[in-house]
Amino acid sequence: NAGVMQNPRHLVRRRGQEARLRCSPMKGHSHVYWYRQLPEEGLKFMVYLQKENIIDESGMPKERFSAEFPKEGPSILRIQQVVRGDSAAYFCASSPPQATDTQYFGPGTRLTVL
């Protein structure tokens, strides 16, 4: 059973460009979470999604950031007009519908903004 998959693993963008990060949950998992880890800081919750629904986006910056989890395909975290402060590791986690507490993490996408 493949784990949570994220791509790309590394992404380099120039200031003002868009970054699109993808997350495929574990097979059978219908809940997806996004966390951000800034250098020398702990992981911070960003958003919690179920298929076609945003359940909790209390950790998402108000501007430039958006997330979706469509009926078909991976979850996408989109960052518009990136700035240097967006440089971080972005982790996706998933959990199954019958046990929503335990979250299993992917390997992360490391975003570097030049």
Q: Which residues bind other proteins (CB under 8 A)?
A: 4, 31, 33, 35, 41-45, 48, 55-56, 58-59, 91, 100-108
CB atoms within 10 A of CB 108: 21
For residues 17 and 74, which CB has a smaller minimum distance to other proteins in the complex? 74
Q: What is the DSSP string of 94-110?
A: EE-TT--S--EE---EE
Question: CB 47 → other proteins: shortest distance, Å?
Answer: 9
Question: CB 54 → other proteins: shortest distance, Å?
Answer: 12
Contact 77, 91 (CB under 8 A): no
For residues 25 and 106, which CB has a smaller minimum distance to other proteins in the complex? 106
Question: CB 81 → other proteins: shortest distance, Å?
Answer: 26
Eight-state DSSP code of residue 34: E
